[in-house]
């Protein structure tokens, strides 16, 4: 359904329900997949208060105007952006749905456990929300009588996995849906989600950029069907993202970000108070100068956003995501300005909007003719990979990491003599209810070494023997969030564990396969139980992944039926995560790309 058709449906429908019924739930996905279309999405940030508060009234007036603008294809409603408590995105989203608009609703993991995320998914689908942007969410910054406790039971990748399973009808399984559903399969209606993800391609360090790209690939493999880039003002980085995605075979629609700056927003982005949004020293100086003009820089800021839209269209993005708009007029001025540009003007703009960070890492060599990226992989990056592939690895990595690798290979690698003996011993101890003393011993070892929090479903092998429970503010087990700045966590005083993990793995030439694995979801039923027993006896996420892989293999005619099949699947999953092996399908950077 085109925007003009959408508006007609709203005008002719006799009630909100009829308007919603007239809306085509697949309109946005069809437009994003149309190579001839360029989609415009506008972000709306809910207010702090009830529906009829002054902030609510202003937001609703703006939303109503955008809903009837034929140039706007979809409206995107945030979920407690910046870690602040806001009105639920469902409140504003329902009004927009009733008006016949295409709505993207954000779902963040920060404030909800997996059961509430499941209920929310069903609630959204039942209300007619199909376009869902899956996020981990910013760390909370305030709350009633102090700081709110973050949840982060799942992260964005695990949320994508769960919603994909729900949408496919694979979870809950028939027996868990109740007798009525089990008896009548036709009663189970899938939500028909169109799931999206975010990538932050404006990072400075190699140890931030590469894991961001790897996590993007994991998100797409898990179920993301469209991607939105984070806030940044560097055309070369925007070009690099699309080139990397083509190189990795990620053929999903990608939308570029254009945030309308103000002096206040630029200062917050520059200082890191808003995680994941990049404003350089050079750009901040320009913003301060322009912001001192009589119009407070509005004309200049609108022009930058319009040029970003032109650049995105010229580079081949599927659309533009406009954020920071205070009024419908802001959006209209951007779109009107962009419409005046010629088809090749974006090439000039791409040279203008190149606000790079000092010593910034680029995956590709620069194209001197365009100032953008070429298709040649960075030569210094490839040289560093070749050096890392050569021994002695132990001299380049922390001693503790090298020791952990040795212990893992001898004791915790499935199929090893140590693993088989430990599995037999733990099984025997549990048979006679003697596991508690060994659990106490385990904690005596792991607490001082890893600051272990006794989750019982250990991810030390997944993150180069760094504990996400104690050392990651968001407990990210499927790659880094987008909130880091120069390798530091968005929570002050921490270094991102994924940056540290990347450096450890690269020292052994294994960083490329860091996230070439299925998504990880922990089982909270294992908390305060022995992680060693759970891994040796197949109860942790490695055991569950191995069991799922073995079950999938058993359904194919060529599946091996030997007793070693499950062990092989388990070993592959664990060794890839631990940095002691590479799967056959792992994405590798070829030396011939230089």
| pLDDT tens sequence across 453-467 | 999 999 999 999 999
Tokens of 128: 């007619």
The rounded radius of gyration (Å) of the Cα atoms in the chain is 25
Any idea what DSSP says for residue 485?
A: B
Let me know: does 572 contact 583? Beta carbons within 8 Å.
Answer: yes
Give the C-alpha separation, 256 to 254, whole Å: 7
Give a yes or no: residue 379 inside a domain.
no
Let me know: does 138 contact 81? Beta carbons within 8 Å.
Answer: yes
- Of 304, 331, 352, the residue that ends a domain is 352
- Of 337, 352, 367, the residue that ends a domain is 352
Same domain? For 325 and 450 the reply is no
Which residues on adjacent β-strands are paired with residue 320?
A: 40, 256
Helix (H) / strand (E) element for 460: namely none
CA 160 to mean position of chain CA atoms: 9
Give a yes or no: residue 546 inside a domain.
yes
Same domain? For 341 and 456 the reply is no
Same domain? For 311 and 408 the reply is no
Same domain? For 288 and 333 the reply is yes
Same domain? For 110 and 155 the reply is yes
Give the phi and the psi of residue 225 in degrees, each rounded to 5: -110, -5
Kindly compute the dihedral angle of the four CA atoms of residues 297, 301, 303, 304, in this order, to the nearest 10 degrees: 140
pTM (predicted TM-score): 0.90
Same domain? For 67 and 215 the reply is yes
Same domain? For 389 and 341 the reply is no
Structural domain count of the chain: 2
Let me know: does 105 contact 90? Beta carbons within 8 Å.
Answer: yes
- Residues of the chain with pLDDT below 70 are 1-25, 174-188, 556-594
Q: Domain range holding 292? A: 3-352
What count of Cα atoms within 13 Å lies in the side-chain half-sphere of residue 451? 7
Tokens of 448: 């001082």
Give a yes or no: residue 7 inside a domain.
yes
Kind of pairing between the strands at 131-135 and 103-108? parallel
- Of 310, 337, 352, the residue that ends a domain is 352
Give a yes or no: residue 484 inside a domain.
yes
Q: Taking the CB of residue 264, how many other CB atoms lie within 10 A of it? A: 10
Give a yes or no: residue 365 inside a domain.
no
Same domain? For 412 and 472 the reply is yes
Same domain? For 343 and 441 the reply is no
Same domain? For 321 and 410 the reply is no
Any idea what DSSP says for residue 528?
A: T
Same domain? For 294 and 416 the reply is no
Give the C-alpha separation, 262 to 320, whole Å: 19
Q: Which residues contact 304 (CB under 8 A, 6 or more apart)?
A: 233, 258, 261, 353
Give the C-alpha separation, 584 to 572, whole Å: 10
Give a yes or no: residue 183 inside a domain.
yes
First to last CA, the chain: 45
Tell the residue number behind the tokens 């203008």, with chain if given. Answer: 352
Tell the residue number behind the tokens 């100068």, with chain if given. Answer: 289
Domain of 172, CATH number, reads 3.20.20.220
Give a yes or no: residue 372 inside a domain.
no
Give a yes or no: residue 513 inside a domain.
yes
Same domain? For 257 and 398 the reply is no
């Amino acid at each position: 359904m085109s925007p003009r058709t959408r508006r007609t449906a709203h005008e002719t429908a006799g009630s909100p329900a009829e308007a919603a019924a007239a809306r085509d739930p697949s309109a946005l996905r069809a437009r994003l997949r149309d190579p001839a279309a360029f989609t415009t999405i506008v972000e709306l940030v809910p207010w702090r208060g009830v529906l009829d508060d002054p902030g609510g009234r202003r937001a609703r007036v703006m939303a109503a105007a955008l809903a009837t603008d034929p140039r706007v294809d979809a409206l995107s409603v945030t979920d407690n952006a910046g870690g602040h408590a806001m009105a639920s995105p469902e409140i504003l989203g329902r009004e927009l749905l009733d008006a016949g608009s295409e709505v993207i609703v954000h779902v963040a993991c920060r404030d909800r456990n997996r059961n509430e995320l499941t209920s929310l998914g069903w609630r959204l689908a039942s209300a007619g929300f199909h376009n869902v942007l899956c996020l981990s969410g910013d760390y909370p910054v305030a709350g009633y009588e102090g700081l709110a406790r973050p949840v982060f039971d799942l992260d964005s990748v695990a949320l994508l996995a769960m919603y994909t399973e729900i949408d496919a009808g694979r979870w809950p399984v028939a027996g868990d849906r109740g007798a009525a559903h089990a008896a009548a399969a036709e009663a189970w209606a899938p939500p028909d989600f169109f799931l999206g993800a975010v990538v932050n391609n404006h990072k400075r360090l190699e140890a931030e950029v590469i894991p961001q790209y790897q996590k993007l690939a994991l998100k797409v493999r898990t179920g993301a069907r469209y991607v939105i880039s984070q806030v940044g003002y560097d055309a070369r980085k925007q070009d690099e993202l699309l080139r990397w995605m083509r190189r990795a075979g990620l053929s999903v629609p990608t939308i570029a970000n254009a945030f309308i700056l103000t002096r206040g927003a630029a200062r917050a982005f520059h200082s890191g108070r808003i995680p994941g949004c990049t404003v350089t020293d050079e750009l901040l100086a320009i913003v301060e100068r322009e912001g001192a003009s009589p119009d407070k820089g509005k004309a200049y800021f609108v022009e930058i956003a319009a040029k970003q839209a032109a650049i995105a269209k010229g580079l081949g993005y599927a659309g533009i995501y406009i954020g920071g708009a205070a009024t419908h007029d802001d959006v209209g001025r951007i779109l009107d300005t962009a419409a005046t540009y010629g088809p090749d003007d974006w090439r000039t703009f791409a040279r203008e909007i190149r606000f790079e960070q000092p010593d910034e890492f680029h995956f590709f060599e620069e194209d001197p003719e365009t100032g953008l990226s070429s298709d040649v992989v960075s030569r210094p990056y490839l040289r560093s990979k070749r050096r890392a592939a050569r021994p002695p690895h132990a001299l380049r990595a922390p001693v503790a990491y090298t020791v952990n690798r040795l212990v893992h290979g001898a004791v915790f690698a499935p199929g090893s003599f140590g693993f088989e003996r430990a599995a037999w011993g733990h099984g025997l101890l549990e048979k006679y209810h003697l596991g508690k003393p060994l659990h106490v011993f385990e904690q005596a070892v792991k607490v001082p070494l890893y600051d272990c929090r006794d989750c019982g479903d250990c991810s030390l092998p997944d993150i180069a023997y760094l504990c996400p429970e104690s050392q990651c503010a968001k407990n990210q087990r499927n790659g880094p969030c987008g909130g880091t700045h120069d390798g530091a966590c968005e929570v002050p005083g921490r270094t991102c564990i994924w940056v540290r993990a990347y450096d450890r793995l690269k020292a052994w030439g294994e960083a490329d396969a860091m996230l070439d694995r299925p998504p990880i979801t922990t089982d909270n039923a294992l908390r305060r139980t022995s992680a060693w027993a759970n891994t040796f006896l197949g109860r942790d996420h490695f055991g569950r992944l191995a069991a799922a892989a073995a079950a999938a293999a058993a359904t194919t005619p060529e599946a091996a039926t030997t007793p070693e099949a499950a062990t092989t699947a388990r070993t592959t999953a664990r060794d890839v995560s631990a940095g002691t092996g590479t799967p056959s399908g792992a994405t590798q950077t070829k030396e011939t790309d230089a």
